[in-house]
Each structure stands twice: as C-alpha cells, then as structure tokens.
Amino acid sequence: MTDPTVPILVYHVILPDDTPVDSWPPGHRPYLSRRSEFNAHVGWIAGNGFLTQTVAGIRGLSAADAAKSVALTFDDGQASDYETAFPMLSGRGMKATFYIATDFVGQAGYVDWRQLRDMQAYGMEIGSHSCSHCCFPDLAPAEMLKELIDSRRILEDRLGSAVKSFSVPYGFACPSLIRAATEAGYETICTSDVSLARVDASVPAVYGRVGIRRGNGIEFLEGIMRRKAGVLGRMIVEDRLKTLVKRSMGRTIWHKFRHLVLSSRGEG
Ligand SMILES: [Zn+2]
C-alpha cells in the first residue's frame, strides 16, 4: 500500500485586492496572492471539512486523517502573514506554518518578534527559512550549517520553543543541504518541488509543496485537495521542465531568462 499524502500549499504575500503589483520585483509578482482568493481558499477548506495541520504535525497522521488534511505554509515572514493571514486563519480555528528568514524580522514589510510570539501562542508553527534568505547551493558546507544553526537558535531564543521545521529559500534542495539540515537538527524540510507530502516516519522528512500563484482559484485548490490527476500532473511537468532548463542554463542565466519570460507574460 502506498503511503498516505497531504498537500502542503505555499503562499508568500497576501495583498489587498486593489493594491497594484508593479512595485514588486518581477520574479515575486506571480506569487502575490489576493486577499479575496486567499479568503476563498480558507473558506473552501473549512466548508469542505478539511483539517489544517502544521508541517511538524503531518508525521504520524493516520491514513484517514491525512486524506482530510492540508498544511498551509507561508515563506519569508512578510507583514501580511500577521496582518492578513493570521486573523483569517485564527478566526476559523485553522493552523499553519510560517517560515521566517531571521535577518528580515522587524524590517519594514516583515513581521516582528511580538507578532511571531502572538502567532506561536495561538498554535501556529514557526519554522526557519535561513538567516539571510541565501541560495544554499552557492554556499560551502560550513556556511550552510551556520545559516541553518544560527536561524534555528535565534528563533528558539526569541520565541522560547523548539524549532523543528525548515523551508529552503528559492526551493533548491541539493543533497549537501539535506545533510546539513539534518546535522542542524531539523526534522522536516520543505522544498519547492511540486508534489504532495508523503506521510512517513523518516527523519528528516523532505516534503515537496504546491506553490500558490495569483489567479489560482477554487477550481485549482479543489483539484489539488481532491487529487485530480490533471491539476497536479500539469504542475509537475512544468516544474520538471523548469528544473531541466535551469540545470542546463546555470542559475544566473536562468534568473535573467525567467525575468524576460515573466515580463513578456505581463507578470514581470
Ligand atoms: Zn523565500
């Protein structure tokens, strides 16, 4: 029998519906979700009887619970985590995992420590997203370990509880990063590979996620939650192609190429 799976969705910024996106860097724009879209997502999840899990809470779920579960995650520690997502989630009794790049905490546009403590006190999971939002494949092993260990210690010191979960900035999870994150004591590692998270007992558990883009409405969400092959399958094909192109171009040229493509699609 195959392991049960749970969709882990990843959001970045939740913007008011009437806020223009052109002041954001081109690469970020596709991932700026609208408040009304996010509200529709959480409404659909609650209305259809799904349970929200933290990422740390996925391990050990029964097959029956996994089938009716979803994990909502937020990368980067944007101000909208607290100002928009937190009240919408807590108002419905929902949980989520917020991944924080510790160097950004308290800066303009990002959450601060008091807000993180509020969210944690409610029951939200706070995980690490490195200190500096670095690109791990560019780092030597000792630098990787430092980003992983320092961000975990800072979060644990400031928030007073154990940090078990890590999400990889830019989503690239090379084998040396997985080894370093394991050494740094993380129990779960979220990447940006498109897949459902398999519920098993491995430590660390390495989970793919489903990245939410602006315009992903209820039909998309329902396709993911109900495991409709076409919806996830299309994303996986697109993701594999992207990885192939990225590998053959090298990352620097890839970022330039992506900028051009997004601009030409009006997302840039
Ligand atoms: Zn990030």
- Cβ atoms 191, 173 nearer than 8 A: yes
Distance 133 CA to ligand 1 centre (A): 6
Distance 147 CA to ligand 1 centre (A): 14
Please report the domains of the chain, with CATH numbers, ordered by start residue: 5-228 (3.20.20.370)
CB count within 10 Å of CB 236 equals 15
What confidence category does residue 249 fall into, taking pLDDT thresholds of 50, 70 and 90? low
Q: Is the pLDDT of residue 263 over 60?
A: no
Distance 53 CA to ligand 1 centre (A): 21
Report the run of H or E that residue 233 belongs to, with start and end: helix 229-249
CA distance 175 to 181: 10
Distance 62 CA to ligand 1 centre (A): 30
Report the run of H or E that residue 92 belongs to, with start and end: none
Distance 129 CA to ligand 1 centre (A): 7
Token readout for 126 is 């706070």
- Whether residue 204 is preceded by a cis peptide bond, meaning omega within 30 degrees of 0, is yes
Distance 65 CA to ligand 1 centre (A): 29
Report the run of H or E that residue 37 belongs to, with start and end: helix 35-47
Token readout for 217 is 């409405």
Task: State the pLDDT at residue 254.
Answer: 59
Q: Is the pLDDT of residue 167 over 90?
A: yes
Give 43-67 pLDDT, tens digit per residue: 999 999 999 999 999 988 999 999 9
Could you tell me which residue, 119 or 251, shows the higher pLDDT? 119
Strand duo 197-198 + 5-6: pairing: antiparallel
CA distance 102 to 71: 22
Report the run of H or E that residue 240 belongs to, with start and end: helix 229-249
Give 1-18 pLDDT, tens digit per residue: 577 999 999 999 999 999
Interval 151-174 mean pLDDT: 95
- Cβ atoms 106, 78 nearer than 8 A: no
- Cβ atoms 261, 22 nearer than 8 A: no
Q: Is the pLDDT of residue 189 over 90?
A: yes
What confidence category does residue 178 fall into, taking pLDDT thresholds of 50, 70 and 90? very high
HSE value, Cβ hemisphere, 13 Å, CA-based, for 129: 25
